[in-house]
Amino acid sequence: MLVQGDRTGDTSLLDYAREYIRDKFNKPGNVYIGLVHRLDRPTSGVVVFALTSKAAKRLSEQFRVGDVRKIYWALVEGKTPTNGTLVDQIHRRGPTSHLVKGPGGQRAELFFRRLRYHKGVSWVEIELVTGRHHQIRVQFSHRGHPVIGDFRYGSKVKFGQKALALHARSLTISHPTRKEEMTFLAELESFWPRQFRTL
Among 6, 10, 40, 67, the active-site one is 40
Per-residue pLDDT tens digits for 164-180: 999 999 999 999 999 99
Per-residue pLDDT tens digits for 30-68: 888 888 888 887 899 999 888 899 999 999 999 999 899
The reported pTM is 0.89
6 is annotated as an active-site residue: no
Domain boundaries, the chain: 67-196
* pLDDT over 60 (residue 4): no
Q: Please count the CA atoms within 13 angstroms of the CA of 124 that sit on its side-chain side.
A: 30
* pLDDT over 50 (residue 1): no
Per-residue pLDDT tens digits for 84-138: 999 999 999 888 999 998 778 999 999 999 999 999 999 999 999 999 999 999 9
- Residue 183, amino acid: T
Q: Fold for 67-196, please state it.
A: Pseudouridine synthase (3.30.2350)
Q: Answer positive or negative: Cα dihedral of 56, 59, 61, 64.
A: negative
What pLDDT band is residue 25 in, cutting at 50, 70 and 90?
confident
What pLDDT band is residue 10 in, cutting at 50, 70 and 90?
low
Q: What is the SS3 assignment for 69?
A: strand
